[in-house]
Structure 1
Amino acid sequence: MTASNKNKTKHVSYKKWGYLFLIPFFLVYGVFSFIPMISTFYYSFFENYMSGLKEIGPTFVGFDNYIKLFTEGDLLKYFENTIILWVLGFVPQIVISLILAAWFTDTRLKLKCSGFFKTVIYMPNLIMASSFAMLFFALFSNNGPINLILMNAGIIKEPFHFMSSTAGARGLIALMNFLMWYGNTTILLMAGMMGIDTALFEAAEVDGATPSQVFSKITMPLLKPILAYVIITSLIGGLQMFDLPQILTNGKGGPDRTTMTLIMYLNNHLYSKNYGMAGALSVILFLVTGTLSIWVFKAITGQREK
């Protein structure tokens, strides 16, 4: 054996193991996500529903299902409801989360028991949405404790019908979304803030920058990637809002369908076994979600197409 051969070391490649470990993910994704997604897109061009015990279709109808959604239904109204409910819950959520994240990551404040408070604000996220909705339904019912407290305090003379008021019903749904998700948002923003180089804050402090200037000029610009992630994931969840308004309004989206969301509307088509219309609505929701997510990402990160 020559000296050059002795100096050669055996190279071990681990790439095949990486591909091997990825196979289960792609199998599960393909069976439970990709194939159903393609099937949904395919059947959205067919008329397929139940009339009593008789199944009508599937019959190819082209874009008729999409046209009916925009001309015969209240698709735009339900889209507006969904966006309003998401905005009402997300705006206070992101504001409070930014404030809490800035407090918890500011070493100069020397907050005591910060670990306890971090746990407490995250706990509502662990409660099931159905339980949360039932709790609020009991608290804010006509004879519930909230109305009793308000009447005993002299704020109102008779029970306020939260479920029969557009502002009341939307406000409750927004409040529940805020309470459930602001803890999770706070943790994500804290992770982003803790990843910022502390030397930048020290230099700004030496230069005499105020806390508000440090937050607006250093923290927020460097927090854009995490902020984009938080807003996009919240937007996707908001467009898919279902369980809270479904349980709170018994699936009717009252009052006067002002809390009917897109997924509740989709669920009605699935319940009536109108699979063609349900597929068309799913495709529309997918396109809207993708378009809005790309727009939000570019608006926050400042990326523009060349």
Structure 2
Amino acid sequence: MKGPSGIERKLSKYGYIFVLPFLLTYLAFQLWPIIYTILLSFSDLKGLRADFTLIGLENYKKLITDKYFWEAIQNTGIVWFFNFVPQLGIALLFALWFTDDTLRIKYKGLFRTIFYLPNLLSAASVAMLYRSLFAYPVGPVNSFLTSLGIWSTRVGENGQIIQEAFNFFRSVPMTRGIVSYIQWWLWTGSTLILLIAGIVGISPSIFESAMIDGANKTQRAWYITIPLLRPMMLYLLITSMIGGMQMFEIPFLLTDMRGGPDYKIRTMMVYFYNTAFQGGNNYAYGAAISVGIFIITLILAVIIFFMMRERQTKVTE
């Protein structure tokens, strides 16, 4: 068997040359920051110091017993759940409509574009926009509600009923609802496009056979489309969960930059930022928090993957 010729060996060098810029960029801006973050999580670096001492697992021991960290996990899960469930449900409904030729919906491409447009906006700009819309006491939403005679009521010190504009960002349910709605509004278009691609990829002969057997639209959607979309839904679930764990800009900028009111909107990434870059600048503990977020995300992703795969195996059997 002949080995590579001299020309082939010479040409193969160009492949390494083309890969080298990407490799150097990855090492400098991806791999090294990860390694350094893990190293810092075992140290005591904080404040304006440049030097640090390795202290073993002390930061991780503190993390396990940190009630604020576990509360941040709970806050993240609540906001993510009330974003993802309606996001997937509404996107699936519209995907079924847009791929149903019998409905003869006009301007499907335009509607898909409109749904996807919010995905092109930066989360920071959207957060500032909605903060202005729901501003207290004279934001556009409050102005509209008061023009309709809708007021927030409370009991004053002397027992009198006081009517005033809604202070949305002083209410935990309202603030959580606004954050979840913004996340839903931003990402439904992306979910819709992926689900449409998944439905279009299903063989038309399967639907034709079902129609011949007398299956109606609901039965075709429930027994054919949705089961065959499960791999796509698994992908959406895992990627949405990873994105939810990294939720930062909207809860950070929409509130008081600390996840108020009562820290009930403080997600894991907001807690990490508050710890590492605000207050005492505890970089070491912030690094431990970021590693903890990564581990939790990895564990949840693996659990969801195997649960969905096992369920898919049972369905196919």
Q: TM-score of the superposition, structure 1-length normalised? A: 0.88
Give per-residue Cα distances to partners, 1:244-275, cap 9 Å, x unaligned. Answer: 01111131211000000111111122214322
Question: Secondary structure at the residue paired with 2:101?
Answer: coil
Corresponding letter in the other structure for 1:286: F
Tell me how far 1:66 sits from its aligned partner. Answer: 1.1
Q: Counterpart of 1:106?
A: 100
Task: Map 1:232-247 onto structure 2 (within 5 A).
Answer: 232-247=238-253
Q: How far, CA to CA, are the matches of 1:207 and 1:304 in structure 2?
A: 24
Q: Counterpart of 2:230?
A: 224
Q: Which of the residues 153, 177, 182 maps onto 2:183?
A: 177
Q: How far, CA to CA, are the matches of 1:18 and 1:192 in structure 2?
A: 35
Question: Secondary structure at the residue paired with 1:103?
Answer: helix
Say if 2:54 is the partner of 1:46: no
Shift in alpha-carbon separation, 1:256–1:163, aligned structure 2, 3 A:
same
Q: Counterpart of 1:30?
A: 27
Query: 8 Å contact 2:258–2:271 — kept in the other structure?
Result: no
Task: Map 1:93-172 onto structure 2 (within 5 A).
Answer: 93-142=87-136, 143-156=138-151, 158-172=164-178
Query: 8 Å contact 2:124–2:253 — kept in the other structure?
Result: yes
Q: How far, CA to CA, are the matches of 1:229 and 1:168 in structure 2?
A: 30
Corresponding letter in the other structure for 1:150: L
| Higher mean C-alpha displacement, 113-122 vs 21-30 | 21-30
Q: How far, CA to CA, are the matches of 1:304 and 1:275 in structure 2?
A: 43
Q: How far, CA to CA, are the matches of 1:303 and 1:246 in structure 2?
A: 37
| Higher mean C-alpha displacement, 255-264 vs 12-21 | 12-21
Question: Secondary structure at the residue paired with 2:281?
Answer: coil
Query: 8 Å contact 2:172–2:261 — kept in the other structure?
Result: yes
Tell me how far 1:105 sits from its aligned partner. Answer: 1.1
Q: Counterpart of 1:256?
A: 262
Q: TM-score of the superposition, structure 2-length normalised? A: 0.85
Tell me how far 1:71 sits from its aligned partner. Answer: 2.5
Q: How far, CA to CA, are the matches of 1:78 and 1:217 in structure 2?
A: 39
Query: 8 Å contact 1:45–1:61 — kept in the other structure?
Result: yes
Tell me how far 1:56 sits from its aligned partner. Answer: 7.7
Give per-residue Cα distances to partners, 1:176-232, cap 9 Å, x unaligned. Answer: 001110001100111111100010011111111121221121111211221111111
Tell me how far 1:153 sits from its aligned partner. Answer: 2.1
Say if 2:196 is the partner of 1:202: no
Question: Secondary structure at the residue paired with 2:44?
Answer: strand
Percent same amino acid among aligned pairs? 40
Unpaired runs of 5+ residues, structure 2, are 1-7, 152-162
Q: Counterpart of 2:157?
A: none
Q: How far, CA to CA, are the matches of 1:61 and 1:137 in structure 2?
A: 42
Corresponding letter in the other structure for 1:36: P
Corresponding letter in the other structure for 1:68: K
Shift in alpha-carbon separation, 1:182–1:18, aligned structure 2, 3 A:
farther
Q: How far, CA to CA, are the matches of 1:145 and 1:41 in structure 2?
A: 46
Q: How far, CA to CA, are the matches of 1:227 and 1:292 in structure 2?
A: 16
Q: Counterpart of 2:297?
A: 289
Corresponding letter in the other structure for 1:214: R
Corresponding letter in the other structure for 1:246: F
Question: Secondary structure at the residue paired with 1:268?
Answer: helix
Question: Secondary structure at the residue paired with 2:52?
Answer: strand
Query: 8 Å contact 1:82–1:239 — kept in the other structure?
Result: yes
Q: Counterpart of 2:217?
A: 211
Query: 8 Å contact 1:47–1:56 — kept in the other structure?
Result: no
Task: Map 1:87-98 onto structure 2 (within 5 A).
Answer: 87-98=81-92
Corresponding letter in the other structure for 1:252: R
Q: How far, CA to CA, are the matches of 1:83 and 1:26 in structure 2?
A: 35
Query: 8 Å contact 1:46–1:57 — kept in the other structure?
Result: no
Unpaired runs of 5+ residues, structure 1, are 1-11
Shift in alpha-carbon separation, 1:58–1:288, aligned structure 2, 3 A:
same
Q: How far, CA to CA, are the matches of 2:175 and 2:126 in structure 1?
A: 14
| Higher mean C-alpha displacement, 279-288 vs 151-160 | 151-160
Aligned residues: 292
| Higher mean C-alpha displacement, 100-109 vs 178-187 | 100-109
Corresponding letter in the other structure for 2:37: T
